[in-house]
Chains A and B, each alone.
Chain A
Amino acid sequence: GAGVSQTPSNKVTEKGKYVELRCDPISGHTALYWYRQSLGQGPEFLIYFQGTGAADDSGLPNDRFFAVRPEGSVSTLKIQRTERGDSAVYLCASSRSSYNSPLHFGNGTRLTVT
């Protein structure tokens, strides 16, 4: 079946610009996660949705980062006034429920801020 889909796969933007990253989770998965991964590091938690609501956004680094999931399916991660330090691979994952259900990851969006 279809896995988690992330678009675009690559995004290059200039410092100061606004970007949106999209995640299509596996159908029926209620939990959705965003992670950020820098080279040589493990994925870093950003935010977690249960349905439409953000159950835990403690990993968002600052108020330039925002994520939505208005209908409990597709999610968009939004980054305002991008900085070079935002360059990373942004990973999305979904699961059937939050607790102890394995995460299914997409292949990520590689964001490069020049």
Chain B
Amino acid sequence: LAKTTQPISMDSYEGQEVNITCSHNNIATNDYITWYQQFPSQGPRFIIQGYKTKVTNEVASLFIPADRKSSTLSLPRVSLSDTAVYYCLVGDKESQGNLIFGKGTKLSVKP
């Protein structure tokens, strides 16, 4: 199973760009990389997904280098409401349903 490693926590200030990097050294050829955001007392919420290079949506950007052994979630100009836990997942083709969440990265945005 492809596993991921993320920093446990990060601090930032309002208006800054935040980059959270996830390592997934044993990613499989057909695996996609997906990021989720979770607020207290809520289920995780899909943010962005990608396979290679760069993906951008209205919320975030996802950068994936050519070797795909890592990925970086970029949140532009964070606000206090971006304080949450962010999870990086890698789809595992050997067990397609067993998507493993790590402990995630707790992002704290300060005024």
Binding site for B on A (CB under 8 A): 4, 31, 33, 35, 40-45, 48, 50, 55-56, 58-59, 91, 93, 98-100, 102-108
Q: Which residue of B lies closest to A56 (CB)?
A: B97
- How many angstroms between the C-alpha atoms of A56 and B98 in the bound complex? 7
Q: Report the separation of the CA atoms of residues A32 and B66 in the bound assembly, to the nearest whole angstrom.
A: 32
User: Which single residue of chain A is at the shortest CB-CB distance from B34?
Assistant: A102
B100 on the A face (CB < 8 A): yes
Majority-rule SS of B interface residues: loop
The answer to whether B44 touches A100 (Cβ under 8 A) is: no
How many Å lie between the Cα of A33 and that of B44 in the bound state?
13
**Inter-subunit contact B49/A105 (CB<8 Å):** no
Is B81 an interface residue, CB under 8 A from the partner?
no
Mask, B88-101, CB within 8 Å of A = 1, is 00010101111111
Task: Decide yes or no: A45 and B43 within 8 Å by CB, A99-B91, A100-B49 being known contacts.
Answer: no
At the interface, yes or no: B45 with Cβ under 8 Å from chain A?
yes
CB neighbours (8 Å) of B46 from chain A are 102-104
A105 proximity list for chain B (CB < 8 A): 42-45
> What is the bound-complex CA distance between A40 and B42, given in angstroms?
13
- In Å, the complex CA distance between A96 and B46 comes to 14
